[in-house]
A = this chain, B = another copy of it.
């Protein structure tokens, strides 16, 4: 499958799962009596913050990069991201032994650019105000003959993210549990789409929900009307990982069919979820990685059967985390 416009299916997710086995961390599915009590149903937390690079993004990036053709390897890959996708692409490229170039905003926090550099990737900076990162990345990729690895609008990236869903299903089976519902943090919707494909095949009766910040609920509104809706603003939530302008075309093609509904909660709810995860689960979650847990803790996910929560990332500024856990 090489056509960037093809909608991936379960076959692609299964192939990605086989391809990535032993290369990605099989992150644990955590249980906790305090969480079950707080939510009022059995809850299982897929701790993707423990994934290589601290987020699920390493899965999709690895799946794409492992499928580079031999003649594509020398020029390597290009990506644009100031967040978790940048770290995922840099690490997956380093692991595969191919060069990576990441387009990042000039004002990116040092901890993020340092993470990319430490993984051996090159950085090209752009100005958020006057320049368009997609255009810059596309031009560089073309000039270098490199392959662009988009954060979600790519069938191989979507299939790679879906491996988190495959593992989640395997782990539910090990627990002897059939999930009634799953909730997934949604930015561009790539993880949701990958998990949706896995769920459709493995747990066709399970309901799937997206998790977004209040006021940045483009997926939720898009599902409600059956057409892609845009967010009216692009800043103003602490969940930086979830602030995309609108769902992707590829991801929405999958999600509009397979997601039951979108759900949302506030930044304060997210802080409460980060505190809960610190205290009871002993994992570090970033705000965007804790939204699904926040919505679960608020009791907003319909039903009372087993619920799987995707805890998608843990790359959080220490000062923010310190404020949150001591609040």
Contact = CB atoms under 8 A, between A and B. Distances in A.
B284 A282 contact: yes
Complex copy number for this chain: 2
B25 A27 contact: no
Contacts of A91: 33
Interface stretch (A75-83, A233-241, A298-306, A318-326): A318-326
B30 A25 contact: yes
Nearest to A30: B50
Contact of A282 (B30, B50, B94): B50
B33 A318 contact: no
Contact of A50 (B33, B281, B325): B281
A245 interface: no
A49 interface: yes
A140 B239 CA distance: 52
A215 interface: no
Interface in A1-59: 22, 25-28, 30-34, 47, 49-50, 52, 54
Interface of A is mostly: helix
Contacts of A278: 284, 318, 321
Contacts of A28: 25-28, 50
A283 interface: yes
9 contacts: A25-B28, A31-B52, A33-B52, A33-B91, A34-B118, A279-B318, A282-B284, A318-B326, A321-B322
Interface of A: 22, 25-28, 30-34, 47, 49-50, 52, 54, 91, 94, 118-119, 175, 275, 278-284, 314, 318-319, 321-323, 325-326
